Each structure stands twice: as structure tokens, then as C-alpha cells.
Structure 1
Amino acid sequence: MELLVRVQRSNGSRPAGCGSALAQEYWPLCDTWGIVVQAAAGLGLVSCAVLMLVLLLWSACVSRRRSSALAALLLFLLATAGIFALPYSFLIALSAQTCPVRVFVFGVLFSMAFGALLARGLALLGVALARGWREVGVAVALALVQVIVATEWLLVVLVQDKRTCQFSQPEFAMLQIYVMVLLAAALVTALCFLRYTWVTYTYSDSGQMHRQNKVQAALLVLTLLLSVCMWLVWITLLTYGNHAMGHSPLWDDPVISVALTANGWVLLLGHGFTQVHFMCKRNARTKDPPLDFTGWTSPRAQPAAPLDLKTGTDNEGFQMDADARRGKDVAWSGIFMRELSAEKDYSIPRPTTTNINEPYEEYYEHRV
């Protein structure tokens, strides 16, 4: 009964959308805020699934040097999809089934998402540790640390102490310390990359690529800044604000559910959709038409001239001298010539003297 009090409404009444046979721990599912959270989280989950499906279908057209970035983006979208699925475990009352999800999966999914953003920032800065497939390895390794932390916490607190999933909100917040360290490190890395894009310029990159790096850095910083703000808000409300306002048991789960959904959309819009757009745009720009080597592979084969054109050489004397010294086994260097119309004047205008008839008359008169 103690667990059911956490989700009981302030007036003790059943929400209008809940049936009489629905247990009290499921009442938030049919409450107004619960329906809004479910709709937003469900739409985000479907968006992540569609993006991952599109990337998997599109991966056949991506060159191999892009496969590592594609795998890192898929890992990030997978973590974001899990974040959108987490609010359902907080909409239902805390129980033996939802407790491991809240304690274990919460930190692991966020560590995977923020670890992927940290690895992406290191890769954009050119750090050798996160180049190529090592970017995916760095993101997975950072998430495994939180897996170890959450597993140890579950074993020590819940198994050794024989507590039936009872923990305070400050304990839950302290469990996310490593995730907050990852978030801070990712933000610092993104700020370094943003500074790098504004103070440096390499002539090996085109202007369009340089502008894209600036936009990508700005979006990465904005995404992480908004995530930091959301984490500060829900941790403050969970550990102090709700208790100070007198809504501590009742508002705890709604605060985390709303924070999860909002943070998921920030990650999806700020990094998920934009990275897919940048990746498709970059791949489309690298698709150049194949080169035409006609006349290069077989030097003796001369191209057929059009019917109304004549052939000629750009420097006949040089060509004859080269043929005489190197033999006739040289590539044909002729050019096509077209008859000029007599009605048009193709002469180059030159300066004229004032004495048109006898231009050198004065010169001959003053000869010594």
C-alpha cells in the first residue's frame, strides 16, 4: 500500500478516462498529463525507429569510410529510442517490475546517448582515440561504466540490504553522477569544437564544408546545453523543490516522465535529425559523374570529327618536329576547326595612327 500512495491523486478520485476495473497504480496512464506524455513519447519512439530503418536501407549507398559514422549514429538513435520508452516505467507505480528499469536502464541509456555525443565531439576535433570505428568503441565503453555502476548499486542496496526496491530521491540522483560527468565532458568537447570552427580555417576544406561544421558545432552545443538545463531542473525538483512545495510523493514521477520525454526530443531534433541530414547531404555532394577517358586509353584511336567540321593542329610546326624526333607513335593532338562566316568580322581591333594613308611618312622625312 505504501507504493500505491506515490501515485494516488491529491483528491483520491479516479481519473475520468480510467475504467472501474483498472488498478490504482495504472491511473496516471489515463490522466491528462499521462496521456500527453504517452503521446509525445510514442511519437518520438516511432520517429527514432523510422530514422533507424531509413539509415539501414540507405547504408547500401554509403561508402565504407562513412560506415563508422553511420554505426555511431545508429547507436545514438537506439539510446534515444530507449529514452522515449522510459517514461512508461515512471507512469506506472514503483514496483518490483519497474524498479530495475528505473534504477538500471535510466542511467545506462543516458550514458549511451551522452557518451555517443562525447565520442562524436572528439571525432570532430580529430582526436585519434575516436577516429573511425573507435568512435563507436568509445561510446560503448563509456556506457559500460554506467552498467557496472548500476549493477553494483542493485546488488549492494537491493540484494545485500534486502530492501524491496525502496530508495530515496537523493539516492536516485546520486546514482546518475557518472551520467552528469559524461554530460559535462560532452558539453566541454562541443564548446572546444565550436571554438575550433570559428578561429581556424583549413584550405583543404571547401567553404560549404566549413559552414556545415559551424552549424554542426552550434547544434551540438545547443543540444547539450538544453540537456544540462533539463537535468538541473528535474534533479532540483526531485531532491528539494517538490518537498518544499508539499508535493513530494505525488509530483516525483510526473517530473521525471516529462523530463525524459523533453530530453528525448531535444536529443532527437538537435542531433538525430540533423546528423541524418548532414550525412545524406555530404554523401550526395561526393557523388560526382564518372570521368570520360575517351581518347586517353587508346592513343592511336582518333575521335570521329563531326561532318561539318575540319581538323587541324594548334601548332603544326611543333607537331611535325615532335613527330620527326619521337616517331609517329604519339597521341593525336588535333583540334576541330569550323569555317568562319565571311559576313562576320573576327579580326582583333588594333590601334591606328592619325595618318592613315602614309603611316611612316614622318619617319622617312626625318631620317638621318
Structure 2
Amino acid sequence: MERANGSRPAGCGVALALDFWPLCDTWGIVVQAVAGAGLVICVVLMLALLLWSACASRRRNSVLAALMLFLMATAGIFALPYSFLIALSPQTCPVRVFAFGVLFSVAFGALLARGLSLLGVSLARGWREVCVTAALALVQVIIATEWLLVVLVQDKRTCQFSQPEFAMLQIYVMVLLATALVTALGFLRYTCVTYSYRDSGQVHRQNKVQASLLVLTLLLSVCVWLVWITLLTYGNRAMGRSPLWDDPVISVALTANGWVLLLGHGFTQVRFMCKHNARTKDPPLDFTGWTSSRTPPAAPPDLKTGTDNEGFQTDTDARRGNDVAWSGIFMRELSAEKDYSIPRPTTTNINEPYDEYYGHRV
């Protein structure tokens, strides 16, 4: 892709072909650096999850697989700008046409499946979440394959297509994006207006955070798609910058949307999984002070041991065995000089109690 004035970028060598000039241009270097950093982070996160999966419980393996699939799609989105930095050719055309829609269909399909799973839809619970993501992406695979075969092979066009045609090829991906956004908004509304007593307050707050981040991620993705489609189909041509700005717009949009997906869903899901794993590893219960030794403690010199209910204690020992804890109490001998009797009420006229009432002796 040549500059507007036809000059070679300062960083390009003399022997470098014209198709590769954007790689050493200023905007190309910036896009490569930002996209490369996102690609490296995605790979590091996937490797860390693979190492962590050995310690993860079996119940969380399905969530781990779904997150791995999403990170793979995000890594592919970060790698895709390189095919738009290089000029359109028979080698880069299939990558642009096929990988663009498929990678975004996997990413947005994973977000849609995640939203359905959080809503409690049985179709997307457990390992079915991964299956739903793969099935949604398979539709775009079929669409892109048919488009390549029909348009580029049957019509014998050497990978020449207009920008509106490229945007129309992504209609299914846009439907996935809109559906995922509606699902995320539904889950956000559910977490705000309902409260389940089966869940703790911490779980409820985490669901609200997940719903908010999911909505934010999809809203920012919608904004990115609206911008690049508008510029690609109308804006660049209206400003007189088409086709010079077409590939840079898509490259920047891919990099920006990749970071939105990575920060909004990738990082947060890894953090939620680590927090969940930390909560499941609670320390064992400490029953210190709940039970005591079988051997009774030494009694003070002036006290003797005893039981509050000897018959009940004997029956309990027979049922539970001899390892039952000692439950005796200490008793003190009562002094014979002191009166421990319970006082009772007495009458003033003991011999003739009814004389005063009747007024005469019976």
C-alpha cells in the first residue's frame, strides 16, 4: 500500500517490496506493537490456564475450556492485523475473508454462550457452553467457505471485492454481537432486580460485576464495529481517503476490539476463576474445645467427680463405644452444719386455722 504522495516510508529498505511498506510505516509499527503485546498476553494466559488446569476441580473444567476457546479467538484477532498491513494478494485474501468473520464469531459466540450460562439456560450449562460456541462459529465457517468458493472460484475473480461486500459478509457476526448484547443486558437486569437466598452476598455481587463487565465489553465492541463499518463503506470515500485508509481502519479496529475483549472478558474471567478456586480451598474445620480427652482432668483436693445423669451416660457409652469423651462434673461434699433445705410457707394459726374465719369453734 503506497502513501498518498507515493514516497517510501523512512524505515523501509530499498529492496523491500511495495506491498510490505506499511510494515515499516509509523502507523504500521504502532499497530504491530500494540497487537503483538495483546497476542503475547493471550498466549501467556493460555499457558497459565493450562498449568492451572491440573489443580482445577472437575466441575470447573468446562468453564476453563470455554475460556481457552475465547482466548484462542482473541489471540487470532490480534494476529489478524498483519494480513491487513500487507497489501491484498491471493495469499492474504483467504485469510482476510475467512479468518476475520470466523475469529469474531468464536469470540462473540463465546460471550453469548457465557451470558446464557449465567442466566441459567440449560442449553449452555457445563460442557454444552463449549458446544454452543463451536456451533455458532460453525455457521460463519460455512458462510465464509461458500463465499470464497462461489465468488472467488466460480466467478474467477482474483480476490477482488468491494468494501461493502466485505461488510455484508460479516452480517452473521453482527447478529451474534447484537444477540450477545441483549443476553448480557438481560442478565444484568436479572442480577439487579432479583436476589436469591440460595446465594451468598458475595456470589450475588460477583454476578453483578460479571454482568456489568459483559455488557461493557459488548457495548465497546458494538462501538468499534459501527466505526470501522461506517468508515469502510462511506466515511473514507466521503473524505477522499479510500482506498488508502481502508486497510489501516480495519487493522486499528481489529487491535482495538482485541484489547476490549481481552481486558473486558479474558482478564476478568481468569480472575473470577482464581477467586473461586481460592474460596473452595477452605481450611479444615477446627474442633478444638468442642471435644475433650477421654481421661478426666485432675480434680481439686476438696472436690469429687460425678455425672449429671449416670444412667444416660452409661447408655450413651454402650451405644457409642469406649472412645466417647468424658462428660463428668465436679461435686463438693455438703457441710452438715449448714441448712440446705428449701424454705416453705407456713400459717400463723397452726392448731385452729378456721376459728377466725367462722367466728366460733366448730
Alignment TM class, shorter chain as reference? 0.7 to 0.9
Aligned residue in 1 for 2:340: none
Aligned residue in 2 for 1:274: 268
Matching of residues 8-87 of structure 1 within 5 Å: 8-87=2-81
Matching of residues 75-114 of structure 1 within 5 Å: 75-114=69-108
Aligned residue in 1 for 2:359: none
Shift of 1:322: 1.3
Structure 1: how far apart are the matches of 2:101 and 2:32?
21
Aligned residue in 1 for 2:308: 317
Aligned residue in 2 for 1:216: 210
Shift of 1:303: 4.5
Aligned residue in 1 for 2:256: 262
Contact 1:312 1:336 in 2 (8 A): no
Contact 2:307 2:329 in 1 (8 A): no
Structure 2: how far apart are the matches of 1:233 and 1:308?
85
Question: Across the two proteins, how many residue pairs are aligned to each other?
Answer: 334
Structure 2: how far apart are the matches of 1:17 and 1:309?
94
Which residue, out of 124, 128, 131, partners 1:134? Answer: 128
Matching of residues 136-285 of structure 1 within 5 Å: 136-285=130-279
Shift of 1:72: 0.2
1:326–1:218: structure 2 CA closer, same or farther, 3 Å change rule? closer
**TM-score, length-normalised on structure 2?**
0.85
* Structure 2 runs not aligned, ≥5 long: 331-342, 354-362
Contact 1:312 1:334 in 2 (8 A): no
- Give CA deviations for 1:161-184 in whole Å, capped at 9, x if unaligned: 000000000000000000000000
> Is residue 334 of structure 1 aligned with residue 319 of structure 2?
no
1:239–1:206: structure 2 CA closer, same or farther, 3 Å change rule? same
Contact 1:295 1:303 in 2 (8 A): no
Structure 2: how far apart are the matches of 1:114 and 1:277?
20
Structure 1: how far apart are the matches of 2:228 and 2:56?
40
Structure 1: how far apart are the matches of 2:271 and 2:135?
27
1:13–1:304: structure 2 CA closer, same or farther, 3 Å change rule? farther
Q: Which amino acid aligns with 2:271?
A: H
Structure 1: how far apart are the matches of 2:304 and 2:130?
60
Shift of 1:224: 0.1
Shift of 1:89: 0.1
Aligned residue in 1 for 2:358: none
Contact 1:312 1:335 in 2 (8 A): no
1:268–1:325: structure 2 CA closer, same or farther, 3 Å change rule? closer
Q: Which amino acid aligns with 1:118?
A: L
1:336–1:252: structure 2 CA closer, same or farther, 3 Å change rule? farther
1:137–1:306: structure 2 CA closer, same or farther, 3 Å change rule? farther
**TM-score, length-normalised on structure 1?**
0.84
Q: Secondary structure at the match of 1:106?
A: helix
Structure 2: how far apart are the matches of 1:43 and 1:308?
73
Aligned residue in 2 for 1:342: none
Contact 1:295 1:302 in 2 (8 A): no
Structure 2: how far apart are the matches of 1:308 and 1:226?
75
Shift of 1:288: 1.5
* Structure 1 runs not aligned, ≥5 long: 1-6, 339-359
Structure 1: how far apart are the matches of 2:328 and 2:39?
63
Structure 2: how far apart are the matches of 1:258 and 1:53?
27
Shift of 1:334: 2.9
Structure 2: how far apart are the matches of 1:220 and 1:88?
28
Contact 2:28 2:85 in 1 (8 A): yes
- The CA RMSD measured in Å over matched residues stands at 3.0
Q: Secondary structure at the match of 2:244?
A: helix
Contact 2:296 2:326 in 1 (8 A): no
Q: Which has the larger radius of gyration?
A: 2
Shift of 1:203: 1.2
Structure 2: how far apart are the matches of 1:211 and 1:305?
49
Contact 2:307 2:328 in 1 (8 A): no
